[in-house]
Amino acid sequence: MKKRVILLLFIILIMGAIFSLINTKGEKNILREDKPLIDALGQKNESKEAEGLSRKTIVIDPGHGGEDRGTKGKVLGTIEKDLNLKIAKNIKKELEERTDAKVILTRESDSSLLPGTNQKEELQARVKVAKDHEADLYISIHHDAFEDVNVKGITTHFGANKRKDKQLARIIQKAIFDQNIDTRNRGIQESDFHVLRENSSPAVLIELGFTSNESDEKRMNSEEFQEKSKKGIVDGIIHYFKISGN
């Protein structure tokens, strides 16, 4: 009788140990499986934007350069070609941080692509960059000016009779103003700019304000505006690829 009791207790202890081991192993497996699941979800969220752009080539064109300075601010003396380049580099960096797209600048310094040539040849060279790299998108960065110093705001231009360009322009313009930009939204505009008309890639030209307007000029030189406009443009580019299916 005593031997049976001891044997029974021994069996109970063995079963308890086995149950405990199975339970502990299960808990460890749950913890071990939970972590990769969280990591996987996190990685998916982080790479979500890059997912659709991994094979895309985006050309960013900082307008003007070299002897062609573009517009000049009346209050702060802002030189358009310099600001265009700064903004373009900011956009390139943001795109590379948030996506796997290949990003190319038409110029990376204060220079023209074809020094000593006329404006038409220079613009043809900029379009050729997009053609040579089979670009999926072309974004030209500019800052406007006007005789009337009261005129201000941001405009995104698209090529005439180009449906994809118009869609891209609408998306980017909205994305910029989704950043709570404190200036006039001048909307999108069909235009006959060479870099739009002659471009086989979906293309837009963004005028990020008027150097001739005091408030616009101060705004375009501020870190806050440059951060917001950069984010808005990149948000727009990413959203365009998501919905266009290109």
Residues 98 and 157 grouped into a single domain: yes
For 158-176, b/e burial (b = at least 16 CB within 10 A) is bbeebebbbbbbbbbbbbb
* Same domain as 33, residue 1: yes
- Regarding whether 25 and 67 lie in a shared domain, the answer is no
CATH number at residue 218: 3.40.630.40
Q: 27 and 5 share a domain?
A: yes
Structure token pair of residue 118: 């006329």
The answer for 22, left when phi > 0, alpha when psi is -120 to 50, beta otherwise, is: alpha
Q: What is the pLDDT of residue 54?
A: 87
Are 58 and 39 part of one and the same domain? no
Q: For residue 157, give the DSSP letter.
A: E
Q: What is the pLDDT of residue 153?
A: 98
Q: Are residues 186 and 91 in the same domain?
A: yes
> How many domains does the chain contain in total?
2
Domain that holds residue 218: 53-244
Task: For residues 236 and 115, state if they share a domain.
Answer: yes
Consecutive 10-residue averages of pLDDT for the chain (246 residues): 56 58 42 34 43 88 97 96 98 96 97 93 98 98 97 97 96 98 97 97 98 98 98 97 82
- Return the pLDDT at 3: 54
Where are any strands of DSSP class E within 112-230?
137-144, 154-159, 185-191, 203-210
Q: Which residue has the tokens 């405009």?
A: 155
Instruction: Give every CB contact of residue 228 below 8 A, 6+ residues apart in sequence.
Output: 176, 179, 180, 181
Predicted TM-score of the model (pTM): 0.80
Shared-domain flag, residues 132 and 235: yes
* Domain co-membership, 44 together with 57: no
CA 67 from centroid of its chain's CA atoms: 29
Task: Check residue 105 and give its pLDDT.
Answer: 98
Give the residue carrying structure tokens 């990769």: 36
| Shared domain check, 88 and 47 | no
**Same domain (yes/no): 155, 194:** yes
Place of tokens 């974004």: 139
Same domain, 127 and 27: no
Q: What is the pLDDT of residue 25?
A: 44
Direct distance between the N- and C-terminal alpha carbons of the chain, in angstroms, rounded to an integer: 82
Residue 192 CA to residue 70 CA, distance in Å, equals 18
